[in-house]
Amino acid sequence: GTASQSFNCAGGGTALFTATGSNLGNGQLDAGEIYNVTYTDCRGSAGAASLNGTATLTVVSASAGAVEVTTSTSGIVVTLPQRVLTLNGTSTLSQTVVTSGANTTTTNHWTSPQIVVTSQRNARSSTFTLTGIDITRSITTTNGVITARSHSGTHTMNAVLPNGSWTVTTATQGAVSFDANGVPTQGDWTITLPNNRILVSVVPGTITVKLDFGADGSIDRTITLTTGDVGTIAG
Protein backbone atom coordinates (compact mmCIF):
# COMPACT_ATOMS: atom_id res chain seq x y z
CA GLY A 1 0.00 0.00 0.00
CA THR A 2 0.93 3.67 -0.17
CA ALA A 3 0.36 6.45 2.36
CA SER A 4 1.20 10.11 1.94
CA GLN A 5 0.78 13.34 3.86
CA SER A 6 1.74 16.91 3.05
CA PHE A 7 2.91 19.21 5.86
CA ASN A 8 3.20 22.98 5.85
CA CYS A 9 6.66 24.13 6.90
CA ALA A 10 6.80 26.69 9.73
CA GLY A 11 8.30 29.43 7.54
CA GLY A 12 6.50 28.56 4.30
CA GLY A 13 6.61 25.84 1.69
CA THR A 14 5.72 22.19 2.09
CA ALA A 15 7.17 18.77 2.87
CA LEU A 16 5.43 15.78 1.28
CA PHE A 17 5.97 12.47 3.10
CA THR A 18 5.23 9.26 1.20
CA ALA A 19 5.56 5.66 2.39
CA THR A 20 5.07 2.48 0.39
CA GLY A 21 5.08 -1.12 1.58
CA SER A 22 2.89 -4.11 2.26
CA ASN A 23 2.79 -3.78 6.04
CA LEU A 24 2.71 -0.07 6.84
CA GLY A 25 1.42 1.08 10.19
CA ASN A 26 2.87 -1.70 12.34
CA GLY A 27 5.33 0.68 14.02
CA GLN A 28 8.48 -0.94 12.69
CA LEU A 29 10.63 -1.13 9.56
CA ASP A 30 9.99 -4.02 7.18
CA ALA A 31 11.97 -5.18 4.16
CA GLY A 32 10.83 -3.54 0.93
CA GLU A 33 9.38 -0.41 2.50
CA ILE A 34 10.30 2.90 0.86
CA TYR A 35 10.03 6.29 2.53
CA ASN A 36 10.28 9.57 0.59
CA VAL A 37 10.29 13.19 1.70
CA THR A 38 9.99 15.86 -1.00
CA TYR A 39 10.64 19.45 0.05
CA THR A 40 9.25 22.39 -1.88
CA ASP A 41 10.55 25.81 -0.76
CA CYS A 42 10.39 24.49 2.81
CA ARG A 43 11.60 26.95 5.48
CA GLY A 44 11.98 26.38 9.22
CA SER A 45 10.99 29.96 9.94
CA ALA A 46 10.23 33.13 8.03
CA GLY A 47 13.35 34.34 6.22
CA ALA A 48 15.29 31.13 6.92
CA ALA A 49 17.06 29.06 4.28
CA SER A 50 14.76 27.26 1.86
CA LEU A 51 14.96 23.54 1.11
CA ASN A 52 14.04 21.76 -2.13
CA GLY A 53 14.55 18.21 -3.38
CA THR A 54 13.85 14.63 -2.40
CA ALA A 55 15.38 12.26 0.15
CA THR A 56 14.64 8.52 0.02
CA LEU A 57 15.12 5.69 2.52
CA THR A 58 14.65 2.08 1.38
CA VAL A 59 14.53 -0.83 3.82
CA VAL A 60 16.72 -3.64 2.46
CA SER A 61 16.26 -6.08 5.33
CA ALA A 62 14.81 -6.07 8.84
CA SER A 63 14.71 -8.72 11.53
CA ALA A 64 15.04 -8.99 15.28
CA GLY A 65 18.23 -7.19 16.25
CA ALA A 66 19.28 -6.25 12.70
CA VAL A 67 18.22 -3.74 10.05
CA GLU A 68 19.77 -2.44 6.83
CA VAL A 69 18.61 0.55 4.80
CA THR A 70 19.83 2.54 1.82
CA THR A 71 19.53 6.31 1.52
CA SER A 72 19.68 8.63 -1.45
CA THR A 73 19.19 12.30 -2.14
CA SER A 74 18.04 13.78 -5.42
CA GLY A 75 18.92 17.41 -5.95
CA ILE A 76 18.63 18.51 -2.33
CA VAL A 77 19.14 22.28 -2.62
CA VAL A 78 19.53 24.66 0.33
CA THR A 79 19.22 28.32 -0.63
CA LEU A 80 20.92 30.72 1.79
CA PRO A 81 20.98 34.53 1.52
CA GLN A 82 24.37 34.53 -0.23
CA ARG A 83 25.01 30.88 -1.10
CA VAL A 84 23.32 27.82 -2.62
CA LEU A 85 24.24 24.33 -1.39
CA THR A 86 23.42 21.16 -3.35
CA LEU A 87 23.62 17.65 -1.89
CA ASN A 88 23.61 14.40 -3.86
CA GLY A 89 24.66 10.91 -2.87
CA THR A 90 23.76 7.41 -1.76
CA SER A 91 24.69 5.33 1.26
CA THR A 92 23.94 2.10 3.07
CA LEU A 93 23.35 1.95 6.82
CA SER A 94 23.09 -1.20 8.89
CA GLN A 95 22.62 -1.79 12.59
CA THR A 96 22.88 -4.92 14.69
CA VAL A 97 22.03 -5.23 18.38
CA VAL A 98 23.37 -8.16 20.41
CA THR A 99 22.43 -8.67 24.05
CA SER A 100 24.22 -11.02 26.44
CA GLY A 101 23.09 -10.84 30.03
CA ALA A 102 23.42 -7.23 31.23
CA ASN A 103 25.54 -6.24 28.21
CA THR A 104 24.15 -4.91 24.94
CA THR A 105 26.37 -4.09 21.96
CA THR A 106 24.99 -1.92 19.16
CA THR A 107 27.03 -1.86 15.95
CA ASN A 108 26.41 0.67 13.17
CA HIS A 109 28.02 0.29 9.74
CA TRP A 110 27.97 3.11 7.14
CA THR A 111 29.18 2.72 3.56
CA SER A 112 28.88 5.03 0.58
CA PRO A 113 30.55 5.22 -2.82
CA GLN A 114 30.13 8.99 -3.01
CA ILE A 115 28.42 11.97 -1.38
CA VAL A 116 28.83 15.37 -3.03
CA VAL A 117 28.14 18.85 -1.64
CA THR A 118 28.43 21.80 -4.01
CA SER A 119 28.53 25.38 -2.78
CA GLN A 120 27.72 28.17 -5.26
CA ARG A 121 28.26 31.81 -4.35
CA ASN A 122 27.86 34.24 -7.24
CA ALA A 123 30.27 32.94 -9.89
CA ARG A 124 32.44 31.04 -7.39
CA SER A 125 31.84 27.33 -6.94
CA SER A 126 33.31 24.84 -4.45
CA THR A 127 32.75 21.08 -4.43
CA PHE A 128 33.34 18.70 -1.51
CA THR A 129 33.22 14.98 -2.26
CA LEU A 130 33.31 12.12 0.23
CA THR A 131 34.30 8.78 -1.32
CA GLY A 132 35.24 5.30 -0.15
CA ILE A 133 33.24 5.63 3.05
CA ASP A 134 33.35 2.45 5.13
CA ILE A 135 32.94 3.19 8.84
CA THR A 136 31.89 0.93 11.72
CA ARG A 137 31.08 2.07 15.25
CA SER A 138 30.09 -0.06 18.23
CA ILE A 139 28.77 0.94 21.64
CA THR A 140 28.45 -1.46 24.58
CA THR A 141 26.17 -0.71 27.49
CA THR A 142 25.91 -2.55 30.80
CA ASN A 143 22.57 -2.22 32.53
CA GLY A 144 21.86 0.75 30.25
CA VAL A 145 25.14 2.60 30.99
CA ILE A 146 27.79 3.03 28.27
CA THR A 147 30.90 1.05 29.20
CA ALA A 148 32.87 0.85 25.93
CA ARG A 149 33.05 2.20 22.38
CA SER A 150 35.04 1.27 19.29
CA HIS A 151 35.50 2.71 15.82
CA SER A 152 37.11 1.56 12.59
CA GLY A 153 37.06 2.52 8.95
CA THR A 154 38.19 4.87 6.24
CA HIS A 155 36.98 7.76 4.11
CA THR A 156 38.41 10.24 1.63
CA MET A 157 37.52 13.92 1.36
CA ASN A 158 38.26 15.78 -1.87
CA ALA A 159 37.76 19.53 -2.15
CA VAL A 160 37.80 21.53 -5.37
CA LEU A 161 37.92 25.22 -4.49
CA PRO A 162 38.15 28.39 -6.58
CA ASN A 163 41.86 28.74 -5.73
CA GLY A 164 42.96 25.10 -5.65
CA SER A 165 42.12 21.59 -4.51
CA TRP A 166 43.15 19.02 -1.91
CA THR A 167 42.47 15.45 -0.86
CA VAL A 168 42.66 13.88 2.60
CA THR A 169 42.21 10.20 3.44
CA THR A 170 41.68 9.17 7.06
CA ALA A 171 41.83 5.51 8.03
CA THR A 172 42.11 3.52 11.24
CA GLN A 173 44.57 0.65 11.43
CA GLY A 174 42.23 -1.94 12.88
CA ALA A 175 39.75 -0.88 15.54
CA VAL A 176 40.18 2.10 17.85
CA SER A 177 38.89 1.79 21.42
CA PHE A 178 37.29 4.57 23.46
CA ASP A 179 36.30 4.83 27.11
CA ALA A 180 32.76 5.44 28.30
CA ASN A 181 33.20 9.21 27.81
CA GLY A 182 34.37 8.88 24.19
CA VAL A 183 38.08 9.49 24.88
CA PRO A 184 40.34 7.28 22.70
CA THR A 185 42.31 4.76 24.73
CA GLN A 186 43.91 2.41 22.20
CA GLY A 187 44.37 2.49 18.41
CA ASP A 188 46.06 3.93 15.35
CA TRP A 189 45.08 6.31 12.56
CA THR A 190 46.78 7.28 9.31
CA ILE A 191 45.94 10.65 7.76
CA THR A 192 47.19 10.95 4.17
CA LEU A 193 47.49 14.53 2.93
CA PRO A 194 48.36 15.66 -0.62
CA ASN A 195 52.09 15.84 0.22
CA ASN A 196 52.52 14.42 3.73
CA ARG A 197 51.29 11.71 6.09
CA ILE A 198 50.35 11.90 9.77
CA LEU A 199 50.34 8.77 11.90
CA VAL A 200 48.57 8.93 15.25
CA SER A 201 48.91 6.19 17.86
CA VAL A 202 47.08 6.07 21.18
CA VAL A 203 47.79 3.88 24.18
CA PRO A 204 46.29 4.47 27.64
CA GLY A 205 47.41 7.93 28.74
CA THR A 206 49.69 8.68 25.77
CA ILE A 207 49.23 9.99 22.22
CA THR A 208 52.10 9.72 19.72
CA VAL A 209 52.04 11.74 16.49
CA LYS A 210 54.51 10.88 13.72
CA LEU A 211 55.05 13.19 10.74
CA ASP A 212 56.14 11.82 7.38
CA PHE A 213 57.04 14.85 5.25
CA GLY A 214 56.81 14.00 1.59
CA ALA A 215 54.90 10.77 2.34
CA ASP A 216 58.03 8.77 1.48
CA GLY A 217 57.73 6.28 4.33
CA SER A 218 60.37 7.98 6.50
CA ILE A 219 59.32 9.49 9.84
CA ASP A 220 60.73 13.01 10.07
CA ARG A 221 59.36 14.09 13.43
CA THR A 222 57.73 12.44 16.44
CA ILE A 223 55.61 14.22 19.04
CA THR A 224 54.49 12.51 22.24
CA LEU A 225 51.72 13.95 24.41
CA THR A 226 49.71 12.78 27.37
CA THR A 227 45.95 12.74 27.11
CA GLY A 228 45.99 15.43 29.78
CA ASP A 229 48.18 17.61 27.54
CA VAL A 230 45.67 17.25 24.70
CA GLY A 231 42.82 18.20 26.98
CA THR A 232 44.67 21.31 28.10
CA ILE A 233 45.52 22.33 24.53
CA ALA A 234 41.91 21.82 23.48
CA GLY A 235 40.85 24.29 26.15
pLDDT tens digits, one per residue of 52-88: 999 999 999 999 889 999 999 988 999 998 899 999 9
pLDDT at position 20 is 95
79-138: per-residue pLDDT in tens?
998 899 999 999 999 999 999 999 999 999 999 999 999 999 988 999 999 999 999 999
From CA 64, how far away is CA 78, in angstroms rounded? 37
- What residues have CB less than 8 Å from 179, skipping those under 6 apart? 148, 149, 185
Q: Is the pLDDT of residue 29 over 60?
A: yes
Rounded to the nearest angstrom, the gap between the alpha carbon of residue 218 and the centroid of all alpha carbons in its chain is 32
Residue 56: name the closest of 86, 92, 80 by CA.
Answer: 92
pLDDT at position 66 is 95
Residue 179, SS3 per DSSP: coil
pLDDT at position 230 is 67
State residue 2 phi and psi, 5-degree precision: -135, 135
Residue 233 pLDDT class (50, 70, 90 cuts):
low
For the whole model, what pTM was predicted? 0.85
Other Cβ atoms less than 10 A from the Cβ of 154: the count is: 16
> Are the C-beta atoms of residues 18 and 2 closer than 8 Å to each other?
yes
From CA 160, how far away is CA 124, in angstroms rounded? 11
pLDDT at position 232 is 64
